[in-house]
Amino acid sequence: MAKVERDSKSGPGDNRRGRQSRAALLDAGRTAFSAKRYEEVSIAEIASAAGAAAGSIGYHFGGKYELYLAVHEAVFEDFWGRLQELRGAALERMTQGFGIYLDFVQQHGTGLLMTPRAGADERLLAQHERHRDRLVEALLTEIVSAGDNATVRIAMDGWLAFIEGATARWLAEPDPDRDTLRSLVLAAGFATVQTALALDPSITLTSRTIAALLNLDGSQRTEREETS
């Protein structure tokens, strides 16, 4: 009841300060959780960086872990927003999209964008699964124009897991270079699509995907000729 009375008496200035305080805590949490593991970050550290009282984390988010979940959500939404801004041919957008993914992972580490390990909190796993499903749905819309999506859905889910594994290995051992990693990931993605198509002939690819496959094949042939 006390919180309701406080909110009912607050004016526009109080609401604005509240939003600013929440945003500052979210930014501070994003910085802290990008640099260190959850258990290594303290409420006092986040509050101090945000210029707020430690109790404000509980007020705005409910607690440290709820702030952690909110940081994950903010990173996901920023990443998704960047992807939606992409324009151009399918191969070009996929190339740029993977570049954005690498930028985010290098900025925030593997903990905020990559799928949590088995045994993680159910809320965190559900959050990641929801955003992964959204990305798979976007890929299906891009790739398939007709036919059963089940085979391609499994294939794309596996490809995303491959991207995470390859990127995590590359971050730990950055050799080969970023361009080679990108080429590997894209080639694996299109090979996965071709395999799904061979296994399920009822699938009809979109014209965008067909053009991307042809463009990728042409660019790979050119690279082989230049190095031979």
> Torsion angle, CA of 13/17/18/19, rounded to 10 degrees?
100
Q: Which of 39, 33, 171 is closest to 106 using CA atoms?
A: 171
Q: What is the pLDDT of residue 212?
A: 85
pLDDT at 91: 85
Which residues touch 193 (CB under 8 Å, ≥6 apart)?
143, 152, 155, 205, 209, 213
- pLDDT value of residue 228: 52
Question: What local confidence, expressed as pLDDT, does residue 6 receive?
Answer: 38
Question: Residue 195 has what pLDDT?
Answer: 94
Which H or E element spans position 76? helix 64-84
pLDDT for the residue numbered 3: 38
Local mean pLDDT, 10-residue blocks, the chain (228 residues): 39 72 96 93 96 94 96 95 91 92 91 83 93 93 85 94 94 90 93 92 90 73 52
- Compute the C-alpha angle 155/158/162, nearest 5°: 130
pLDDT at residue 29, rounded to an integer: 96
Instruction: Tally Cβ neighbours within 10 Å of residue 37.
Output: 9
Question: What letter does residue 54 receive in the DSSP assignment?
Answer: T
- Give strand pairing partners of 146: 204
pTM of the model: 0.82
The candidate with the shortest Cα–Cα distance to 50, out of 7, 75, 79, 17, is 17
